């Protein structure tokens, strides 16, 4: 199976979504202090980058 640019961006999008969800879950359930807010903020940043990767599919 050959992976073209769109397939690579699709895989990167899904991986970024999974990492973002795990970071938000860590911030919500594992850390009760200020570090939890940082984990959640970084998780939202991963969602933003995944959104950009998804928007680039078909254009690169």
> Tell me: the pLDDT tens digits for 2-56?
888 889 989 999 999 999 999 999 999 999 889 999 999 999 999 999 999 889 8
Q: How confident is the model at residue 59 (pLDDT cuts 50, 70, 90)?
A: confident
Contact in structure between 59 and 39 (CB atoms under 8 Å): no
Number of domains observed in the structure of the chain: 1
* Alpha carbon distance 32, 10 (integer Å): 33
Range of the domain at 24: 5-56
């Amino acid at each position: 199976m050959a992976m073209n640019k769109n397939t690579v961006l699709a895989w990167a999008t899904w991986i970024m979504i999974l990492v973002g969800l795990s970071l938000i879950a860590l911030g919500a359930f594992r850390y009760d202090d200020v570090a939890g807010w940082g984990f959640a903020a970084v998780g939202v940043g991963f969602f933003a980058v995944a959104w950009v990767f998804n928007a680039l599919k078909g254009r690169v």
